[in-house]
Amino acid sequence: MTSPQILLLFVLMGGLIAYLGDWLGRKMGKKRLRIAGLRPRHTATVFTVLMGMVIPIATTYGLITNSRSVRQWLTEGPELARERDMLETQIEKNSLEVIRLEREAKDQTNQIKQAQFKRKQAAEQRDTAVGERDRARGQAAGAKQDLVAAAVRERKISARVSLLAGREQQLNASVNEQSNQLVVQQRELGSSRAESKRLFNETEGLKKNSIELVQQIQQLEVEAEGQRRRAETARKEANEAELEMQRTYDKMRDLRLTLMELEGEMANVTGGIEAVRASDVLFRRGEELARLQIQGGLDRDSAMAKLLQTTKAADVVARERGVKPDANGNAAVMSDRVRILPGGTSVKISAEAHMNALAEGIGDKHEDLIIIASSFYNYFSGEEKPVPVIVDVFLNQKIFEAGDEIATTVVDGSLAEGEIWDSVIAFLRADVRSKAEAAGIIPVHGRETSLGEVTYDQMTGLVQQIRRRLRPSRVTAIAAKDTKKAEPLLLKFKVANP
């Protein structure tokens, strides 16, 4: 039913009922009827008032009968408003989650670019190492050729030295023989001075030749020693070239391994991005899976049993969310923790050691405690491993007493009802929540009602009370009962002048 039709129905119903009321009043006046002892004029007035009251009743009945939207608004209006607010809140959360996932995808894309850049650097280093290896092989080949040439020259020099030594021996033998002949001739032919002088000169010449041969032999030995040193140097250079070639080969092998690792990391990063884009987030980082309130001062076995009870409850929640158990039947397990020390070094704390430390801490504390199991990181659907869980223990002391004021705000009662609802909801989500967290209340991660729980009837009554005042009113949220750190914060409200 459209708005013009509703307006027309209002006009027609009002006119018809006014006419009937006027007609009935005149009729009653002419007959001078009385009701309960009233005068006829007062009786006519009563019937006129009753007909006036019938006008809105009949009009409302007509609207409900002919308009489905009006009927739905009258019967389901507050519920639809509450559902609208819940949907708006969910849309806001989904928008924030989309922004966070886009940021994570951008980070993953940057990691892929860095991996590609490292891969390119590794390829360049590999090409450089290949060039160095080829140059080292060329140097080794040249050194081997120099070594072969030096060996050939050494053999030639050795042969020449041997030949000169033979000639020296021949000359020495000839000198000795001629000296003997000279002595014999001097003894036998003392008169032949000229011959003796000639022989003497020949002997001196042979001696000079022998000295020259000795000098040549010494020079050849020096040259042979130089050739030996050069050959030794060539051998050292060849060995160094072989070592350099081996180092180059090892470097190439390391670069290949690095390249393979980078390719593996890039594949893992790509797979992680695909998982983020295609999978649903079952548990967010820090999201609470289970909590258990206990009394401190328990013995070690009892404390360990409470801790295991908490992890078992977290396992049940993980199964309900759709996590598949592993081969050991676990859907949620304690994960190891890495703690960074002040010096920069890291220490790995196993899940067993962490549980033992928590059990000892529970035994040392005699106050009320709360055990909370939460997700260690974002867990996506489709993962084949259990949800990693971190278990922590907190003191569960009293935070608020019944009647304590939590937060105060001012709401204008002259606003529309929807705007008053929005103001009250914003007051609960912002002021009351921040004050409760600052006081020490531990909220359930992902559950807004864990801080400042209010029933729908409370909210409706509060909004109506503010609206009836038709002016700005000071609204105070008050603790409805004594509340500990891990308990839900139940509220009641006080409305007064600002």
Helix (H, G, I), strand (E, B) or coil at 15: helix
According to DSSP, residue 281 is labeled: E
pTM across the whole model: 0.42
pLDDT for position 60: 75
490 phi/psi in degrees, rounded to 5: -85, 140
Q: What is the pLDDT of residues 23-57, one digit of tens each?
A: 776 776 676 666 666 776 777 777 777 777 777 77
CB 442 within 8 A of CB 483: no
pLDDT in tens, 407-437: 999 999 999 989 999 999 999 888 998 888 8
In tens, the pLDDT along 226-259 reads 777 877 777 777 677 767 777 776 777 777 777 7
Top pLDDT among 260 and 495 is at: 495
pLDDT at 98 over 50: yes
**CA-wise closest residue to 81 among 454, 459, 450:** 459
- Residues 422, 417: Cα–Cα separation, whole Å: 9
Cβ-proximal residues to 365 (8 Å cutoff; 6+ apart), any chain: 296, 297, 395
- β-strand pairing of 472-479 with 491-496: antiparallel
Rg value, the chain, Cα: 54
Distance CA 206, CA 199 (A): 10
Contact 486, 291 (CB under 8 A): yes
Q: Which amino acid appears at position 206 of this protein?
A: L
Average pLDDT over residues 354-377: 88
